[in-house]
A and B are shown apart, each in its own frame.
Chain A
Amino acid sequence: QKEVEQNSGPLSVPEGAIASLNCTYSDRGSQSFFWYRQYSGKSPELIMSIYSNGDKEDGRFTAQLNKASQYVSLLIRDSQPSDSATYLCAVRVSNTGKLIFGQGTTLQVKP
């Protein structure tokens, strides 16, 4: 059974701080990794994708991937109250088009 693990939180950070969200996965053959943001009562929204080891930056977001450690992270710089949401890590199961999601980490950014 392929698994994706996340700390459910909540992770609480002050406005302007860096929020660090972490995810581990079990499928060593996975090649595609995604971060989704889900506001309460809404559907998930894709915010980052990463396919190679290292960092990928997009605005205030940085995704980090370490395939050897089977670890994916998301950094949010200059956190804003509007970033308060649940962040879902998703991993594509190797040799399929299926995504497996973690349980999500709830982020609270306090003004």
Chain B
Amino acid sequence: SQTIHQWPATLVQPVGSPLSLECTVEGTSNPNLYWYRQAAGRGLQLLFYSVGIGQISSEVPQNLSASRPQDRQFILSSKKLLLSDSGFYLCAWSLQVSYGYTFGSGTRLTVV
């Protein structure tokens, strides 16, 4: 069966520090991968999605970036965090575009 791993679970970072969040999927190949952010009391905002290695689509302009160095690995990064980057970051995967996503357990990021 397929599983998705996301780490770390929680993170407290100072403003201006770098960020790297990692997500990996097991038990499947060539998944579609997604990064979402959920700010406190708000809905899910799509940040990036990828349909293959090295293929990244960005949904919103911001100081975040994403990379997919391997088929089942998706990384969210920032060179300098802002206070507004705080939130619950969720990685998700799907095999078919018409299917729903399966989410990882999420990373709660607090920028101080």
Q: Do A and B come from one complex?
A: yes
What residues on A are CB-neighbors of B103 within 8 Å? 43-45
Known A-B contacts A43-B105, A44-B103, A45-B103; the reply to A88 vs B51 at CB < 8 A is no
- Min C-beta distance of B31 to chain A, whole Å: 11
Question: Given known contacts A98-B46, A103-B43, is B100 in contact with A90 (CB within 8 Å)?
Answer: yes
Given contacts A98-B46, A101-B44, contact A51 B98 (CB under 8 A): yes
Chain B residues near A34 (CB-CB < 8 A): 100
A49 touches B43 (CB 8 A): no
- Interface residues of B, count at CB 8 A: 22
B100's contact among A43, A99, A100, A103, by CB below 8 Å, is which? A99
Decide if A80 is an interface residue (CB 8 Å cutoff): no
A92 adjacent to B90 (CB under 8 Å) = no
Contact A46 B98, beta carbon cutoff 8 Å: no
Interface string of A70-105 (1 = CB under 8 A from B): 000000000000000000101010001111111110
Q: Are B44 and A88 closer than 8 Å at their CB atoms?
A: yes
Chain A interfacial positions (CB closer than 8 Å to B): 31-32, 34, 36, 42-46, 49, 51, 88, 90, 92, 96-104
9 additional contacts (CB under 8 A) given A42-B105, A45-B103, A101-B44: A43-B106, A44-B103, A49-B100, A88-B44, A92-B98, A97-B51, A99-B46, A99-B100, A101-B36
